[in-house]
Amino acid sequence: MDQQRKLGIWVLTALVVGNMVGSGIFMLPRSLAEAASPIGVMFAWLLTGAGVLMTALVFGNLAIRKPDLGGGPQIYAKELFPKGSNLSILSGFMSSWGYWVGNFAGNVAIITTFASYLSTFFPVLTSDKTVLTMGSFTLKLGNLLTFLVCTALLWVMHAIILRGVEDAGKLNFAATAAKVLGFFLFIVIALFAFDRAVVGPLDAPRYDGDGQPLGLLGQINNAALATLWAFVGVESAMVFASRARKQADVKRATIAGLLIALAIYIGISFLVMGVLPQNKLIQSEKPLVDAIIAIVGPAGGYVLAGLGLISLLGSTLGWILLSAEVPYQAAKQGLFLPAFLRENKKNVPSFSLTLSNALAQLFIFSTISHSMAAAFDFVIYIATLAYLIPYLIASVFQLKLTLTGETYMEARERMVDGIIAALATVYSIWVVIAGTADIKTFLLGVVLLASGLIFYPQVKKAAQQAKEKQKLSA
């Protein structure tokens, strides 16, 4: 690939910010208000922010120290076992499979949120008018139109990406720049309207599904899982490391993108609590729009909804790019089906892109029978759990490098990276435990992960054939 066509630091940073600040920024204020008290939310942000910062540093370090292993944190699973062994291939494939499932499932959360904000301009998208009744199933006009909008958005982005990854990255940069400016403007406006009395008691009680009060630790667990969704995407620059102009830019883009996104998320999630009372906030399907309407009136709602649409268009583009790139890079490492290596004339992984979007289309059918908020909550838990294991794998692999001394020349650098890797590992383990506490969600995640075993024999066969070719050529 021509050096001038590779991704620079600004485009990489925009991919990180654009993928992190997506659907979560619009729906998380509602999810957090329901999950925890204000003080619980504060501790959740502190804990998640610190943990993900350690993870981001791990991603950046690995991109520099292992540039030949680009494609995302899941790739490192194969490096935890002897090279070429069955365990190496199996772990690499299963990790890549779960991460890929999380990607295209997560796309649906972004796309459905786009439809939710589009309803500000076209209220018919929320219409309860019955179109079709079949037994116990009732199809409403709003759900049907939402399905059609989501489907159109998915395949328009598909067509744009087929024209070239670099051009799509530049378009994502423009959308990201617009939304960052817009969100900081929202924060400034909300600061002047913030009312401490609206927030209520900082330790206001929260209850579980059975109506039992939740302790502070339980609230932090709930909120931390929701805030983790805000950080999913921090690895975006790492996934595109093989397309970066400089490997050092991957680390810089990851850290810069994380800090920008963190400032936006924390500012907005707390300020919305001081504008909308909790009972209204947890019922809202467009919390940011409702908050700005409360401050400046309906005109502000239209402006913010427009900003939301721009933001979500950029995020949809970025995440679809990521969804296609993950199995493509895994296939280059011999960890995915060889068919995913197919490219078009623009070096776009066309087969991977088409199949990823076809599977995302299946998830979009959930909009037929669920509200926007319900579809969002369902998908983010599935997608978030699919990311937890790859994050843990990357941290453990970095820890392994520091313990063995591989790629390290200086003892001090090795020690610092070892501490970072240890903290990232502890955080990842805690999140896995918290994320799998709900047995229903856990089992669904296991089923999605286990479904990949159907294709493992083909991956193993392809890996063995590649190994034999290498021996013959040697």
What's the CA gap between 61 and 401, in Å, rounded? 11
Alpha helices of 66-215 — where are they, by DSSP H?
A: 86-118, 141-161, 165-193, 196-199
Output the pLDDT for position 367. Answer: 66
Percentage of residues in the chain having pLDDT higher than 90: 15
Residues in the chain: 474
* Mean of all residue pLDDT scores within the chain: 82
Confidence of residue 342 (pLDDT cuts 50, 70, 90): very high
Q: What is the pLDDT of residue 162?
A: 92
Closest alpha carbon to 258 in 17, 12, 6: 17
Q: How far apart are CA 140 and CA 196, in angstroms?
A: 40
Distances (CA, A) of 12 to 17, 43, 56, 308: 9, 30, 14, 21
Q: Is 1 a residue whose pLDDT tops 60? A: no
Q: What is the pTM of this model?
A: 0.81
List % helix, strand, coil for the chain (3-state, nearest 5): 80, 5, 20
Task: Please name the residue that has the structure tokens 């008018």.
Answer: 129
DSSP states along 171-193 = HHHHHHHHHHHHHHHHHHHHHHH
Model pLDDT, residue 351: 95
Number of H helices, E strands in the chain: 18, 2
Residue 210: per-residue pLDDT:
65
Q: What is the mean pLDDT of residues 181-186?
A: 86
Q: Is the model's pLDDT at 186 over the cut of 80?
A: yes
**Res. 268: pLDDT tops 60:** yes
Separation CA 321–CA 314 (nearest Å):
11
d(CA 343, CA 354): 11
Counting Cβ atoms within 10 Å, is residue 346 exposed (0-12), middle (13-18) or buried (19+)? middle
CB 280 within 8 A of CB 199: no
**220/32 Cα distance (integer angstroms):** 10
Cα distance between residue 161 and residue 168, in whole Å: 6
The span from the CA of 164 to the CA of 343, in Å, is 11
How many Å apart are CA 96 and CA 332, to the nearest integer? Answer: 12
In tens, the pLDDT along 406-440 reads: 888 888 999 999 999 999 999 888 877 776 666 66
DSSP helix/strand/coil, 140 = strand
